[in-house]
Chain A
Amino acid sequence: MGLQVKDVVLELGDGDAQITALDHVSFGVGAGELLAVLGPSGAGKSSLLAVCGGLRHPTSGTVVIGGKPLMAMNDSQLTRLRLQSIGFVFQQSNLISSLTSLDQLLLMVHLAGRRPRKADRDHAMALLNSVDMGHRANRLPDQLSGGERQRIGIARALMTKPSLLLVDEPTSMLDQVRGHQIVALLNEQCHQHQVAAVMVTHDVSMLDAADRSLHIVDGRIQEVAVSATN
């Protein structure tokens, strides 16, 4: 199992302002499976992503990634885990503005404390080619379209060969056609690389590309469904 979330509660704020962002949430995602998490704005989708990615400590419950429980980890251990085991795909603007497409991927090697070798460059180019962005390897983010930036983000997330992919609203800034292309690409990549993936989205039309989906409302899971196409 790539990701296991069990009975997770996340409370934010203090006193009267305290809210329960996640209320006893439990689910699992296996290797090579794409789980879509749907819900209205403020339902707790992003909080779920933050907890799964080690960006927030849950108030209670357990999160296990690749057999490693997150609860016992301190901030620096969580940082290392994010680098080694988790790939993030953010909304389209989240590329480093000073880095070319190829450098966005090689940054992950630098963050691991190494200088990129030929094998790293070859791996990065192979990933860029797999998302049809090999010809844009030397372009800066502001020279790319929204869809192209999202493809670079997906390739970057796979650079460290993670066991878990966390995808945040990948289609929010794209039109329907490009949005479907990106989600299809995500599905293809997570099957190809056997990565467990959680995709947060508010767009119901993207469900077809997911293996499973769950609806979250007010921090609680309301419904779990298996996609008709899978």
Chain B
Amino acid sequence: MFLAWRDLLFAKGRFLLMSMIIALVAFLMTLLSGLASGLIKNNISGLMALDVTNLAFEYNDRPNYRNSMVEREMWEGWRNAEGVVAAEPLGHTMFTARTPEDLPLDDVVLWGVEPGGFLEPDVLLGESLKGPDDGVIISALLANKHGVKLGDVIVLDRVLTKLTVIGITSEQNIGHVPVIYTPIRKWQEATYGPPGGPPPGEVLPDILFDYASVIALQLAPDTDIETVDIAWGTVTMDKQSAYEASSGYKEEVQTVKMIQGFMVVISALVIGAFFTIWTIQRTQEIGLVKALGGSNAYLLRDTMGQALILMILAVGVGTFLAVWLGLSFEQSGKPFMLVKDNIAGSSGLLIVAGLIGSMVSVRLITRIDPIIALGRTR
């Protein structure tokens, strides 16, 4: 590393310029990582918060929450199957929420859950769903963004169902839409019943209350999922795979991963090009060192060490600046989330890509003939 350090100090301008490019790439990589995590959180934070191991959808080649419809006998069948710790219906319908004065609030996903069941969220403020039948627990996002308070009434567009805010839970979304929780019976009434509820003096038929969207499951590790799926016409996904059933999730993650992948490849190419040009410029000196008795191993160690120093310093600076900026994004409520492991992963990947890129110069170094130190080419 003797020559490496001296070169870094001697050719400060060139290395500074290169460091700035790498730092910029690291900066963008970290911001992208934060954006990816933020988008994931913004898309599926509601699902992430669910205390489930699996979700069973109505059988479909491409199951999703909107199209799935399960019957009572299905969730009761699951509930009684071997290895099932708990099974509960979960209703999922998207509505536009309005104030009683008919002012639009926001699109919301209404989740119907069994009051007191394992799907009911912890509330930050207010009470649980065991209270009034028309109670609703809203995502903190809805409360913060639109100033909805405990006791306020939310009206669901189209069906005109009125819900009273009884609790506020953490920021939970699905498909970038805030989730609101209501008792499953209210959800079934809103989803399958007539707009505005049953006509005066009438009750809704019982069959209305035998349907939900999916079955939320808590399974023992050795549960024979396939057999139960066949028996009840469901297709069951583990929690991680069930994220992909959320609209747009898979495409968003793929897009961000693709951008990150391109950036890693671009970094490797840029760094490879830099070290190739740098090696070509140093051909005479490398030949000289070889003529003096420097081995290929020494020169390669030196070059790779130089690349490593450059990458660590530049990536460190770029990442630090991105984290500093990212913290302000997080606080401003943008879909941005800094996750230590992801930042470390993207930084590590960038350093490895840089080292792979710099290895392009390895072949050049090994091929330099020390006779050029004598000023001859043959």
**How far apart are B191's CB and chain A's nearest CB, in angstroms?**
74
Q: Is the CB of A90 within 8 A of B293?
A: no
Kindly specify which of A66-74, A106-114, A217-225 makes contact with the partner chain. Answer: A106-114
Interface string of A136-174 (1 = CB under 8 A from B): 000010000000000000001000100000001000000
| Complex contact B376–A50 (CB within 8 A) | yes
Name the contact of B294 in the complex, choosing from A79, A84, A98 (C-beta under 8 A).
A79
Is B167 among interface residues, defined by CB-CB distance under 8 A?
Answer: no
Interchain CA distance A61-B375 in the complex, whole Å: 25
Tell me the complex Cα distance, A76–B370, Å: 12
A194 at interface, CB cutoff 8 A: no
Chain A CB count within 10 A is highest, among B284, B292, B294, B370, for B292
Q: Does A211 have its Cβ within 8 Å of any Cβ on chain B?
A: no
Cα(A50)–Cα(B375), bound, Å: 11
| Cα–Cα distance between A112 and B11 once the two chains are bound (Å) | 25
Task: Say whether B291 contacts A107, CB under 8 Å.
Answer: no
In the complex, are the beta carbons of B293 and A99 less than 8 A apart?
Answer: no
Q: Which residues of B contact A226 (CB under 8 A)?
A: none
A47-62 contacts to B (CB < 8 Å): 49-50, 53, 55-56
Residues on A with C-beta less than 8 A from B378 are: 12-13
B259 at the interface (CB under 8 A from A): no
A residues near B284, Cβ cutoff 8 Å? 94
B65-118 with Cβ < 8 A to chain A: none
The answer to whether A168 touches B10, judged by C-beta atoms less than 8 angstroms apart, is: no
Question: Does A129 interact with chain B (Cβ within 8 Å)?
Answer: no
Report whether A111 and B293 are in contact in the complex, using a CB–CB cutoff of 8 Å. Answer: yes
Cβ contact within 8 Å between A55 and B291: yes
Question: What residues of A have a CB within 8 angstroms of the CB of B291 in the complex?
Answer: 53, 55, 82, 88, 90
B370 contacts across to A, CB distance below 8 A: 55
Q: List chain B residues, Cβ under 8 A from A106.
A: 2
Partner of A94, one of B9, B10, B288: B288
B289 at the interface (CB under 8 A from A): yes
Residues of B within 8 A of A12 (CB): 378
Closest to A86 in B: B293
> In chain A, residues 87-103, which have Cβ atoms closer than 8 Å to a Cβ of chain B?
88, 90-91, 94, 96-99, 103
Q: Which of B285, B293, B370, B375 has the most CB of A within 10 A?
A: B293
Given known A97-B285, A98-B11, contact A111–B371 (CB-CB < 8 A) = no
A90 pairs with B295, CB closer than 8 A: no
B6→A82 contact, CB < 8 A: no
Chain B positions within 8 Å of A55 at CB level: 291, 369-371, 373-374
Distance (whole angstroms) from the CB of A23 to the closest CB of chain B = 17
Cα distance, A140 to B11, chains bound together (Å): 13
Instruction: Tell me whether B292 and A107 are in contact (CB under 8 A).
Output: yes
B262 at the interface (CB under 8 A from A): no
Q: Which chain A residues (13-65) contact chain B, with CB distance < 8 Å?
A: 13, 46, 49-50, 53, 55-56
Closest beta carbon of chain A to B369's beta carbon, Å: 8
Min Cβ gap B186→A in Å is: 75
B1-27 vs A, Cβ < 8 Å mask (1 yes, 0 no) = 011001101110000000000000000
Q: Kindly list chain B residues whose C-beta atoms are within 8 Å of the C-beta of A56.
A: 371
Tell whether A83 is near chain B: CB-to-CB under 8 Å.
yes
Check B292–A83 contact: CB distance below 8 A: yes
- The reply on A80 being an interface residue by CB < 8 A is yes
A113–B298 CA distance with the chains assembled, in angstroms: 8
A107 to B5 CA separation, bound complex (whole angstroms): 12
**In this assembly, does B176 line the interface, its C-beta being within 8 Å of a C-beta of chain A?**
no
**B9, B291, B298, B371: most-surrounded residue (chain A CB, <10 A):** B291
Set A79, A96, A98, A140: member contacting B293, Cβ < 8 A: A79
B285, B290, B295: the one within 8 Å of A96 (CB): B285
CB-CB nearest in chain A for B8: A98
B289 close to A111 (CB less than 8 A): yes
Are A96's CB and B371's CB within 8 A? no
Shortest beta-carbon distance, A113 to chain B, in Å?
A: 8
A83 to B295, CA, bound (A): 9
Give A205 Cβ to nearest chain B Cβ, in Å: 21
> By the criterion CB–CB under 8 Å, are B373 and A88 in contact?
yes
Interface centre among A12, A98, A108 (most CB of B within 10 A): A98
Shortest CB distance A63–B (Å): 15
Chain A residues positioned under 8 Å from B2 (CB to CB): 103, 106-107, 110
CA distance A12 to B11 in the complex (A): 38
Give every chain A residue within 8 A of B3 (Cβ-Cβ): 96, 98-99, 107, 110
Best-buried of A79, A90, A97 by chain B (most CB within 10 Å)? A79
Measured CB to CB, the nearest residue on chain B to A21 is B378
Given contacts A12-B378, A50-B374, A55-B371, contact A111 B294 (CB under 8 A): yes
User: Could you list 9 further interchain pairs (A-B, Cβ under 8 angstroms) beyond the known A50-B374, A98-B6?
Assistant: A46-B374, A46-B376, A84-B293, A90-B291, A97-B10, A98-B3, A110-B298, A111-B292, A111-B293
Pull 8 A–B residue pairs with CB atoms less than 8 Å apart, ordered by A: A46-B374, A50-B376, A55-B369, A79-B294, A82-B293, A90-B373, A98-B11, A107-B2
The 4 closest A-B pairs by CB, nearest first: A83-B293, A98-B10, A82-B293, A110-B2
